Structure 1
Amino acid sequence: MRKIAIIAWVIYSILHTTGCNSVEAQSNAAEQNPAPAQTMGWQYPNGARNAISITFDDARESQVDVGVPILDKYNVKATFYVMPEPVQGRLTQWQTVAGNGHEIGNHTASHLCTGNFQWLRAMNKGLEQVDLQWLRDDITKTNNYIENNLGVTPRSFAYPCGNTFVGRGLEVQSYVPLIADMFTTGRTWLDETANDANYTDFAQLTGIRIDGMTYEQIKATLDALRFSKSWIILAGHEVGQKGMYTIDSQALESLIIYLKDPANGYWLDTVDNVANYLKQHRDAPK
């Protein structure tokens, strides 16, 4: 009995000392195993601490009317994930966007997401109802349109609504491998962390929402995501006055000014350019 009591006391002491809370355990581990110093291994251009990309989805009119002039004013190149129909409605402007060096990515022709969205239920559509071949055809159609009308070959893809599957139940399939086969990168949406440059899967890059946020809120988000060599991909939709799916134009301009200041330690470039740089410099993830 004495031996059992001693063992129980030892176990209690260990748990009490180390803590059972997973967050506490991660914090302790981080303190004991700090991230490698930025001076070790490869470096971002100009000694930047982090990489960052600004991206927009859907080829919305406010992007060419409001967003692009702000970007061009500061010579900042963004990544635009577009669809054929809205591009066709403003074709001349989108040709100018592509010609000015902004990256044009693929966002499908259908913008198909989970059918749980009521706007898709009204059309009796949803990713649950299609297969990988259907999706490949839709994406190929979009690639062909972009090549024929904007004169560029898309190398980047953004998953509509951040959904990465087709089918339902036991027949569900990921279409991440399809994107990995067709593109250099694929970006998701509404994520909670930045990309670890030495680890991230280029077919599943995280996207951080900037819609509806003030400049101060965006900056606070960036500050929280600046772990060692992280690559932060910002994702938005409309540009103009603040709204649920809109970044305020003043917030965008303030953000760009902040990111362009070398003292703040960011390398700002398109998704494809950052991805290519990482592929050339990082070791293969284990």
Structure 2
Amino acid sequence: MGETHISRRTLFAAMAGLAGAGSAAAQPQGWPDGARGAVSLTYDDGLNSQLDNAVPELKRLGLKATFFLTEDNAHWRLSDWEALARDGNEVANHTMSHPCALSGYSTTRFAAAEVHRMEGYLDAHFGSDRERTFAYPCGYLGLGHGRRHARYARYRRVLERDGVVAARTTAGGPNRPEMAAADPLHLHAFEPTYEGDTVAPALRYLTETVARGGWAILVFHEVAPQWLHEGDVSVATHNRILEHIAALDVWCAPMGQVFGYVAHRWGRAA
């Protein structure tokens, strides 16, 4: 029997509804400068449109973000990505070639050809002293054959062995910081314009984040003049979302930076 498909918006709406009733009691304390939550802006695939259209708005608003690069795309404008990192943004691992269907990969092949090789590329061009963070290509969490749990465990072992400290999915409600600290290779994230070019899903997600004192990780891909298909965001909608974040009482910082704070503040040794 095939798996039932549930849209990303439907899934988030259900999760937000279940969480909403206890939001006030659940709100943790401890974000920097008394902020009511945290937000990380993440951009996948190392696309030229991110450099051309997203980065100027980030600079205008004084926001820093995480860019999950693939070597296949990033090498075309490597000097621009290097300048972006020098300006305080995070660059991180999205594999060498962005494979989605991983049933044909052995653990050894995937680790060597996609994860470890990309870490070496990032080390060479962006320094080896950075936190190693990762975004699952296509949001797929399984590697090789077998039952879902076994495929997921296999993927996690690859990341752990390569020193990845935090990994981002593409689904789930705002992260509870204590849960993010406990399970850092399964950070929730939300693609607010995946199914349409509107700000409303992002605003609802951010409202829930602030209400619960959580950590929102937003995901963007193409930042284009117009929304054409799933995964895009228009420049106008992207900029409206960023302006809304800039006006909120939240700490907006790259994913690795926020995770480092979360691990220190809410981790087991805290």
| Alignment TM-score > 0.5, same fold | yes
Look up the equivalent residue of 2:134 and give its one-letter code: F
For residues 218-264 of structure 1, what are the alpha-carbon distances to aligned partners after superposition, in whole Å with 9 as ceiling and x for unaligned?
21232244442211100010112223221121222222222122xx3
**CA apart distance, 1:69:** 1.2
Does residue 1:203 correspond to 2:189, yes or no?
no
The answer on whether the counterparts of 2:63 and 2:253 sit within 8 Å (CA) in structure 1 is: yes
- SS at the partner of 1:274? helix
Tell me: CA distance 1:27–1:96, structure 2 relative to 1, closer, same or farther (3 Å).
Answer: closer
- Give the alignment's TM-score, normalised by structure 2: 0.81
Query: Which one of 115, 132, 138 corresponds to residue 161 of structure 1?
Result: 138
TM-score between both structures, scaled by the size of structure 1:
0.76
Distance in 2 (CA, whole Å) between partners of 1:136 and 1:82 is: 16
Question: In 2, distance between residues paired with 1:179 and 1:47?
Answer: 33
Cα distance, 1:92–1:228 mapped onto 2, change above 3 Å: same
**8 Å contact 2:190–2:218 — kept in the other structure?**
yes
Residue number among 35, 46, 56 corresponding to 2:25 in the alignment: 35
| SS state at 1:165 partner | coil
2:131 aligned with 1:147: no
| Partner in structure 2 of residue 113 of structure 1 | 100
Rg larger in 1 or in 2?
Answer: 1
Task: Please give the residue correspondences for 1:1-286 in structure 2 after superposition, counting only pairs within 5 Å.
Answer: 35-36=25-26, 38=28, 42-114=29-101, 127-137=102-112, 138-151=114-127, 153=130, 155-169=132-146, 172-174=150-152, 175-181=155-161, 182-189=163-170, 191-200=171-180, 201-211=183-193, 212-240=196-224, 241-243=226-228, 244-261=230-247, 264-284=248-268
CA distance in 2, matches of 1:34, 1:156: 31
Larger RCO, structure (CA 8 Å, separation 6 or more): 2
TM-aligned CA deviation for residue 283 of structure 1 = 4.6
How many residues align structurally?
242
Contact 2:37 2:209 (C-alpha < 8 Å) held by counterparts: no
Q: Which deviates more, 196-205 or 251-260? A: 251-260
Tell whether the 8 Å contact from 2:131 to 2:256 is kept in structure 1 after alignment: no
**Is this contact kept in 1: 2:134–2:166, CA < 8 A?**
yes
Kept in 2, the 8 Å contact 1:57–1:81? The answer is yes
Distance 2:246 2:200 in 1: 16
Q: Is the 8 A contact 1:51 1:231 kept in 2?
A: yes
**Contact 2:94 2:136 (C-alpha < 8 Å) held by counterparts:** yes
CA gap 1:268/1:34 in 2 versus in 1, 3 angstroms: closer
Note the residue ranges of structure 2 that are not aligned, 5 or more in a row.
1-13
Which amino acid in structure 1 is aligned with residue 252 of structure 2? L
The 1:28–1:78 alpha-carbon spacing in structure 2 relative to 1, beyond 3 Å, is closer
Change (3 A) 1:37 1:136: closer
For the structure 1 residues 29 and 277, does the alpha-carbon distance in structure 2 shift closer, same or farther, using more than 3 Å as the test?
closer
Aligned residue for 2:67, secondary structure, equals strand
**Relative to structure 1, is the Cα distance of residues 47 and 139 closer, same or farther in structure 2, using a 3 angstrom cutoff?**
same
Q: Sort the Cα spacing of 1:72 and 1:168 in 2 relative to 1 into closer, same or farther, 3 A.
A: same
Q: What is the CA-CA distance between 1:282 and the residue it aligns to?
A: 1.2
CA distance in 2, matches of 1:96, 1:254: 25
Deviates more, 1:204-213 or 1:94-103: 204-213
Tell me if structure 1 keeps the 8 A contact 2:199–2:237. Answer: yes
Structure 1 unmatched ranges of 5 or more = 1-22, 115-126
